[in-house]
Structure 1
Amino acid sequence: MTMDTIRDAIMSGDRSEQTYAGIALPESYRAATVHKDEVDMFEGVASRDKDPRQSLHIDDVPIPELAPDEALVAVMASAINYNTVWTSIFEPVSTFGFLERYGRLNDWSKRHDLPYHIVGSDLSGVVLRTGSHVSKWNAGQEVVAHCLSVELEDPDGHDDTMMDPQQRIWGFETNFGGLAELAIVKANQLMPKPDHLTWEEAASPGLVNSTAYRQLISKNGAALKLGDRVLIWGASGGLGSYATQMALAAGAEPVCVVSSPDKAEICRQMGAELIIDRRAEGFQFWNEEGTKQNPKEWQRLGKKIRELTGGHDVDIVFEHPGRETFGASVYVARKGGKIVTCASTSGFMHEYDNRYLWMNLKSIVSSHFANYRESWEANELINRGLIHPTLSKTYQLEEVGQAALDVHHNLHQGKVGVLTLAPEAGLGVTNADKRSGFEQEINRFRNA
């Protein structure tokens, strides 16, 4: 009943600090978890055949004690990211190793080393409690969270918090993630919820929007400039859809790589004109055994790009598929161009022909999530309506396994949302006038 009281207070629209501070907390809450005693359940099974519906559970878990620099958030909605897929299939390693190492850091981090891992790296919701050292945030405030968890006890991270030796991704390398009715975050992960968005829309951009911002826009990534030509793999997907929007908003020219006519149409609706349907073109960068690449296919991709751009190679390659595409990415970047990589969803062991890199003075730039400033700036783009959520479908918390399976098998467009405390989709908008100017853009991906 206490969880119902929290939900009712949020649904009422009352955001007074006294209301939420006066609500008694429940002893437990529902959360999506993986179990430590099941890490070997998929042994001998091919990656694609590992089923998150078998490994993701909905459990009642106790509320841990709140550290001085943390906030307890009532989560109305969350979203699926590929790190939840990795966690659920225990690849490339079990995340319980992350929790064990974190647990050895200090007395507060011991809470994270549990026989279950509460997953999820996105949320939108309302602050319920704050730790004794928190002054910026109060109970009752509507928030979203970015997923960077840092300690900042070392000097390395004070220029760029992503360089903190204790940098972790919340809900992946830490516990108490966002795919739950409640979540614990460090207070410096909180950002204002855009008031023109529903709970599920506001929850969906966090990880991917910030990641795309650092990778493509920030000086720590590609430092995109007006007029740059950018090859974007998976341009209608959870990450690529934000890169496509940013490239267009910045006056660059995206070359969008997709895998179906439907995904090509989504890119056109975002405003992109140069599109490659890799499936229709029949690109095969590797042989069937996956042991050898075909440079002629790299050349064919480069030729296709030049056909679209009027004879130009791309300045930047927005890389995240990894092994499957990396050789082609290195090849097609222009002389002096950049290949910026933030993930490896098709495999971590990349192979490329180094001659095309060193002899043409190209650069491979690594990019991982975003620091607090970059995350805040990326969230402001959403808040101002310069970038829009790419939510396509929303599941209930009980269906989190199916939602993760959709992402695992690339059956989705944009982002897949998950309702946690929100009783239904479409709730949470407090600025309808602002929303009315962006309704079409917000709903571009809906049920795509």
Structure 2
Amino acid sequence: MQHILDAILAGDTAAGDFANLDIPDHYRAATVHKDEVDMFEGLSSKEKDPRKSLHVEDVALPELGPGEALVAVMASAINYNTVWTSIFEPVSTFGFLERYGRLSPLTKRHDLPYHVVGSDLAGVVLKTGPGVTKWQPGTEVVAHCLSVELEDPDGHGDTMLDPQQRIWGFETNFGGLADVALVKANQLMPKPAHLTWEEAASPGLVNCTAYRQLVSKNGGDMKQGDNVLIWGASGGLGGFATQYALNGGATPVCVVSNEEKAAIARSMGAELIINRSEEGYQFWKDEHTQDPKEWKRFGAKIRELTGGEDIDIVFEHPGRETFGASVYVTRKGGTITTCASTSGYMHEYDNRYLWMNLKRIISSHFANYRESWEANRLIAKGKIHPTLSQTYPLAEVGQAALDVHQNAHQGKVGVLCLAPEEGLGVRDHEMRDQHLEAINRFRGV
């Protein structure tokens, strides 16, 4: 891969020269193994260690199909779906690969005894398959993680509704935590010129998810003046939700777990902060019983901050731990949007507070191509900024995933793949200088 890296680092390699580069038949990738899916049996989720299940090894280059592209990956990032894959929860991802493999002889490529993981990338197009006209070899790109077939009518109004919708690198193989990735060409978007490789790779999944969940008409359809409750406001998802609320004229009410995270939220411009550690909320009396008195105390704190107003939109992703409180504190006619359940999938809430007050729960899962493009465009224009806090080399991807698993991180954790060091890939230094403080906001915390 060194000759490919040299061509990228040169900065002036012609498209034709990229097209003629020899692509090795094997490449380095982070994988989990099908014969190890039971390795953590008997352990609690917190005890499962991604360092034991994530392997960095050489794998065979996949066949390039129509409408696809091979991308040299300079950097990627860790998402919760990689953590879930690495601890084989809630199910092994090999079931996803097996089902995908049954669709056609071409998708059979994905059904392997190993799974190359990762749902983010920034890199350079190496080669495209038949039918690809928009992206040429040598183009610097990022990728969103929506994989669709679009052979059914359902997906043509909103591609997230395609019956064959999958998350690349989680429900498909050949993901971004590798030196080469296989993507559908319609996953590609221009790399923001003012960002480094690792910075450009880090927003993808969470930025697009936050955009759909909060801004899009398919999600919260946020408007000016809305009070938006954001759980984990300094995290990967919450850090983008906070930025979108502020940019869109809404008022974020940021829930964080310590003063360091509160400082990050304030640095983005948020003024209404709830530090859960200081307030000591215990929404559950025990494993099976919630405490409505704590919901009320939480709601009273929100009204204290907002001048007596309730929440218009809840940006939900913790799930079981917080969902009852989220439903309770939402105003009459308000909206709870949910995109994940990092604290548990079996949500419980008092339905009286939902139906009698005409509240709505809206599910939101990643984003369609248009929403992803808009979210990336805002990054490229310097309106929204990466939340990258730390970067690991690919050889230490297990530790990077463990950081996220243990919530020992802020924002996003990046991974260098082909890039030999941080700080490379910036093409627009003048624009970068204008936003440097915001770009580095999550670093060093």
Question: So what's the TM-score if we normalise by structure 2?
Answer: 1.00
Please, which runs of 5 or more residues in structure 2 have no aligned partner? none
Q: 1:42 aligns with which of 40, 43, 46?
A: 40
- Structure 1 counterpart of 2:81: 83
Aligned counterpart for 1:296 among listed residues 281, 293, 297: 293
C-alpha contact (below 8 Å) 1:15/1:141 kept by paired residues: no
Counterpart secondary structure, 2:402: helix
Of residues 414, 421, 424, the one that matches 1:424 is 421
Question: 3-state SS of the aligned residue for 2:290?
Answer: coil
In structure 1, the residue matched to 2:60 is: 62
CA–CA distance in structure 2, aligned partners of residues 109 and 310 of structure 1: 55
The one-letter amino acid paired with 1:391 is L
**Equivalent residue number for residue 257 of structure 2:** 259
The answer to whether the Cα contact below 8 Å between 1:142 and 1:192 also exists between their aligned partners in 2 is yes
Q: What is aligned with 1:405?
A: 402
Report the counterpart of residue 269 of structure 1 in structure 2: 267
Displacement of 1:217 after TM fit? 0.3
Task: Please state how far the C-alpha of 1:132 moved relative to its aligned partner.
Answer: 1.1
- Given that 1:298 and 1:328 are in contact with CA atoms closer than 8 Å, whether structure 2 keeps it comes out as yes
Matching residue within 147, 150, 157 for 1:149 = 147
- Is this contact kept in 2: 1:28–1:60, CA < 8 A? yes
1:18 deviates by: 1.1
Match of 1:179 in 2: 177
Which residue of 168, 174, 181 corresponds with 2:166? 168
Cα distance in 2, alignment partners of residues 164 and 138 from structure 1: 27
Counterpart residue number, 1:393: 390
Residue correspondences, number? 445
Q: Deviations 1:35-63 (Å, cap 9, x if unpaired)?
A: 00000001110001110000000010010
Distance in 1 separating the partners of 2:267 and 2:322? 25
Q: Distance in 1 between matches of 2:188 and 2:221?
A: 25
Measure, in 2, the Cα distance between the counterparts of 1:409 and 1:252. Answer: 31
Q: Distance in 2 between matches of 1:339 and 1:386?
A: 25
Structure 1 spans left out of the alignment, 5+ residues: none
Aligned-residue offset at 1:14: 2.1
Q: Once the 2 structures are TM-superposed, how far is the Cα of residue 16 of structure 1 from its aligned partner?
A: 1.6
State the match for 1:233 in structure 2: 231
Residues 31 and 61 of structure 1 are in contact (CA less than 8 Å); yes or no, is this contact kept in structure 2?
A: yes
Q: Which amino acid aligns with 1:362?
A: K
Q: Distance in 2 between matches of 1:47 and 1:291?
A: 18
Partner Cα distance (1:14, 1:162) in 2: 37
Aligned equivalent of 2:433: 436
| Whole-angstrom distance in 2 between the partners of 1:15 and 1:168 | 34
Measured in 2, the distance between the counterparts of 1:21 and 1:311 equals 61
* In 2, Cα distance between equivalents of 1:292 and 1:77: 44
Q: Does the 8 Å CA contact 1:73/1:127 hold for their aligned counterparts?
A: yes
Q: Which residue matches 1:347?
A: 344
The whole-number CA distance in structure 2 between the counterparts of 1:419 and 1:154 is 37
Instruction: Tell me the SS of whatever aligns to 1:284.
Output: coil
The match for 1:330 is 327
2: distance between equivalents of 1:161 and 1:27?
33
Q: How many angstroms does 1:29 deviate by?
A: 0.5
SS of the residue corresponding to residue 196 of structure 1 reads coil
Within-5 A mapping of 1:192-203: 192-203=190-201
Distance across 2 between alignment mates of 1:83 and 1:33: 13
Shift of 1:15: 4.0
**Which residue number corresponds to residue 364 of structure 1?**
361
2: CA distance between counterparts of 1:56 and 1:6?
Answer: 25
The Cα offsets for residues 351-401 of structure 1, whole Å up to 9 and x where unpaired, read as 000000001110000000000000000000000000000000000001101
Separation in structure 2 between the aligned mates of residue 309 and residue 252 of structure 1, nearest angstrom: 12
| Runs of 4+ that moved beyond 2 A | none
